Chains A and B, each alone.
Chain A
Amino acid sequence: MALFNSEKLCEGITMRTATKRFLLIYLTFIVVFLALRAIIVPPSFGELTDDYTYRWFRADSVREIMQLDMKFASKEMCAGCHKDKVEFLNRGAHSTLSCETCHGPSIKHVQNPGDNLPEIDTSRALCKLCHEYNPTRPEGFPQKFTDEHGYGRLCVDCHNPHSPWVFKGGVEQ
C-alpha cells in the first residue's frame, strides 16, 4: 500500500514555480505555433501525396492552373492550315523551333482565324535569345551578335526566319 501513498506520489512530481512557468512558456509557444500553422497552411496542402516524397504543395494550385485560359496552340495545330509553311520550316536549320516562338501565342487565332492575327516579333532582340555569344553553346552554333555582322539592321532583312540559310533577294550562301 505504501506504493500508492498519494502524498509520496505528489511529492515526486512537484515542480518548482520557476520550472513550471518556464515550461508553460514553451507550451504556450508550441500551442501558438500550432494555431498559427493551422491558419497559415492551406487546407489542401499535401493532399495529392501520402508520403513526404513528391507533390509537397497546395493541391488546389493544380486545380486553379487547370482553370486558366490556354494561350499556345502548338505546331501541329498550325500545320492543320499552314502545311506548306511548316514543311518549309521543318527542312531548314530552324526545324526544331515552334511556330509560336516567333509568332507569339496563337490559340485565339486558331479559335477565330479572321480576327486575331498573331503578332510577329521581328526584332534583333528576339534572335539574340539564341544567337548571342555564349561560350557554353555547342561548337558551330551561329553566335553572330557582333558589331561586324548585320550593321544594326534587322536579321530578317536578309535571312528568311523560316529557314535562315535561305537568303532574301536571291542571295545564296
Chain B
Amino acid sequence: MSEILWQALQQVQGYIYPNEVEVNWSVLIALYPYITGLVAGAFIVASLERIFKVEAVKPTYRLALLTALAFLLAAPLPLVAHLGHMERALEIMMTPHLTSAMAGFGFVYAWYLMAVLLFELYFDYRRDIVMWAQEKTGIKGFIYKILTLGDYDISENAVRADNRIVNIVTVIGLPSAAFLHGYVGFIFGSIKANVWWSSPLMPIIFLFSAMVSGIALVLLIYIASSYIRGVELDRACTDTLANYLLYAYLLDLSLEFMELAHLFYTQEEGIDAIRILIMDKMFWTFIVIQIFLGTLVPIGLLIFARTGIVKFNIRKYLYIFATVLTLIGVFAMRWNVVIGGQLISKTYLGYSTYIMPLFGPESISLALAIWILPFIILAILVKLLPPWEEPHEWERVELE
C-alpha cells in the first residue's frame, strides 16, 4: 500500500467507497486549469485592443500575446507530469479518439497554438523581425534572419497585409480562447456523478474566472516589467485594465453566486454533503481565500481605486495588491473545484482527505516548478521579441 494511501486511509471520515480514499487528481490537475485560464485571459486582453479597439490598453497588447504563448507552452506540463508516462501524451494525436472528452484538450490546444497564437504573433511581429534582422548581429541576428523566412518586404502594402492576417486570426482567436478554457470547465461540468462538478454553468464560470485571472496577470506583469525597465506606467492603460478586471470580476462573482444559489435552492441529493464540504472541509480555501480574500477584497480595492480618491502612485499599489490576491483567489477556485470535488464521496456520507507531498511526482515542489516555468519562458520571449513600442535605430534618428 502506498504511503499516501495509508495516510489518507487513516483520515477518512464517515462512509466512502474504496476508490475514493486517495485523491488522484492532485495539485497538478488544479494547476492545469489555472495556467490554461491565464492563457485564455491574457489572449482576451490582447483582443481588447485588436477587436474592440480599446486604444488605452495598447501598451499591453504584445505583452499579453507573449504571456499567452509562455503560459500556453507550459499548460500541458501539469497533465503530462500527472500522466507519469510522458510519451503517452502523443497517443491522442497519433490515434485520435473523437468521443473522448479528455483527448479533446490535445486538439483544442494544438488548434489554439498552431492556428491562432503563432499566426498572430508572427504576423504582428513580422515588420519588427525584419528590422531586427537588419540591425542585430550575432546569434540574435541569426535567429531574426531565420524568422524572416527570407522575406524582407516591409513596404506599406506588406505591413497592411500582415495586419489584415492578424485581424482575421484575432477574430478566430477570440472564440478559440473561449473554447480553450470553456473546454476545461466542460471536463468538470460534464461529470454527472459528482454533485460538486456537474453543472452546465461550469464552462462559463471557468471562462469568466479565466478572464479575471488573465487580466490580473497581464496587469501585474505590466506593472512589474515597467518597474524592472525603470519606465513610467501608462496611467490610462493601467486604469483601463483595472476597470476591465473589475467588470470581469463582477460578472464572475454573479455567476459563482448563481451556481451556489442554484445548488442551495434546488436542494438536490447530496446538498447536505456539499454544505459540510463548504463550511467545514474547505472553509479556508473556499470561504476565506476564494470568496473573501480572492474575490470580495479585490473587488472592494478596485472599486475604491476607481473612485479616484487616491492618487495614481497609491492606486498603483492597490492594483498590485488586488492582482496578487486575484491570482491567489483564482487558484483557490481551481483548487476548490478539482480537490473539493474529490473530497466529497459519492455516498454523500463521508469525506476523504487530500495529502500533498513536498517532493516527488504530484508534489507541491513540482507544481511550483511548473508554475515558475512560464515566467522564465516569458522572460526569454521578451528578450527575443521585445513587446515595448520602442523606435528602431534609424527611426530614432529621424525622430530627433
Residues of A within 8 A of B97 (CB): 52, 56
**Interface flag for B153 (CB, 8 Å):** yes
**Interface flag for B111 (CB, 8 Å):** no
**Interface flag for A135 (CB, 8 Å):** yes
**Interface flag for A18 (CB, 8 Å):** yes
On whether A16 and B149 interact (CB within 8 A), knowing A136-B18, A136-B21, the answer reads: no
How far, in Å, is A6 (CB) from chain B's closest CB? 22
Partner of A16, one of B21, B98, B151: B151
**Interface flag for A53 (CB, 8 Å):** yes
Report the separation of the CA atoms of residues A26 and B122 in the bound assembly, to the nearest whole angstrom.
13
**Interface flag for A41 (CB, 8 Å):** yes
Binary flags per residue of A1-37, CB closer than 8 Å to B gives 1, else 0: 0000000000000001111011001100100010001
Report the separation of the CA atoms of residues A46 and B97 in the bound assembly, to the nearest whole angstrom.
10
A16 close to B12 (CB less than 8 A): no
B94 close to A18 (CB less than 8 A): no
**Interface flag for B233 (CB, 8 Å):** no
B153 close to A52 (CB less than 8 A): no
Report the separation of the CA atoms of residues A19 and B93 in the bound assembly, to the nearest whole angstrom.
26
**Interface flag for A134 (CB, 8 Å):** yes
How far, in Å, is A154 (CB) from chain B's closest CB? 22
Residues of A within 8 A of B162 (CB): 18
How many A-B pairs have beta carbons closer than 8 Å: the answer is 50
Binary flags per residue of A38-62, CB closer than 8 Å to B gives 1, else 0: 0011000110000011001000000
Residues of B within 8 A of A29 (CB): 114
Report the separation of the CA atoms of residues A46 and B16 in the bound assembly, to the nearest whole angstrom.
37
Residues of A within 8 A of B165 (CB): 19
Residues of A within 8 A of B9 (CB): 134-136
Size class of the B contact interface (CB-based, 8 Å): 20 to 34
B95 close to A18 (CB less than 8 A): no
Report the separation of the CA atoms of residues A25 and B146 in the bound assembly, to the nearest whole angstrom.
12
Shortest Cβ distance from A30 into B: residue: B114
B149 close to A18 (CB less than 8 A): yes
Report the separation of the CA atoms of residues A45 and B126 in the bound assembly, to the nearest whole angstrom.
43
Report the separation of the CA atoms of residues A45 and B96 in the bound assembly, to the nearest whole angstrom.
12
Residues of B within 8 A of A21 (CB): 149-151
**Interface flag for B284 (CB, 8 Å):** no
Residues of A within 8 A of B98 (CB): 52
How far, in Å, is A38 (CB) from chain B's closest CB? 10
On whether A22 and B94 interact (CB within 8 A), knowing A136-B16, A136-B17, A136-B18, the answer reads: no
**Interface flag for B307 (CB, 8 Å):** no
A16 close to B95 (CB less than 8 A): no
**Interface flag for B161 (CB, 8 Å):** yes
Report the separation of the CA atoms of residues A135 and B126 in the bound assembly, to the nearest whole angstrom.
64
B151 close to A52 (CB less than 8 A): no
Report the separation of the CA atoms of residues A148 and B158 in the bound assembly, to the nearest whole angstrom.
85
A45 close to B95 (CB less than 8 A): yes
Report the separation of the CA atoms of residues A17 and B150 in the bound assembly, to the nearest whole angstrom.
8
On whether A26 and B114 interact (CB within 8 A), knowing A16-B158, A18-B153, A41-B95, the answer reads: yes
A17 close to B153 (CB less than 8 A): yes
Report the separation of the CA atoms of residues A18 and B151 in the bound assembly, to the nearest whole angstrom.
5
Residues of A within 8 A of B151 (CB): 16-18, 21
How far, in Å, is B111 (CB) from chain A's closest CB? 12
Residues of B within 8 A of A37 (CB): 93-94
What are the nearest 4 A-B pairs in CB distance? A18-B151, A17-B151, A21-B149, A136-B18
- Show 10 residue pairs from A and B whose CB-CB distance is below 8 angstroms, ordered by the A residue: A16-B153, A19-B161, A19-B165, A21-B150, A22-B149, A37-B94, A52-B97, A56-B97, A135-B12, A136-B17
- Residue ranges of B at the interface with A (Cβ–Cβ < 8 Å): 9, 12, 16-18, 21, 93-95, 97-99, 114, 119, 122, 126, 148-151, 153, 158, 161-162, 165
- Residue ranges of A at the interface with B (Cβ–Cβ < 8 Å): 16-19, 21-22, 25-26, 29, 33, 37, 40-41, 45-46, 52-53, 56, 134-136
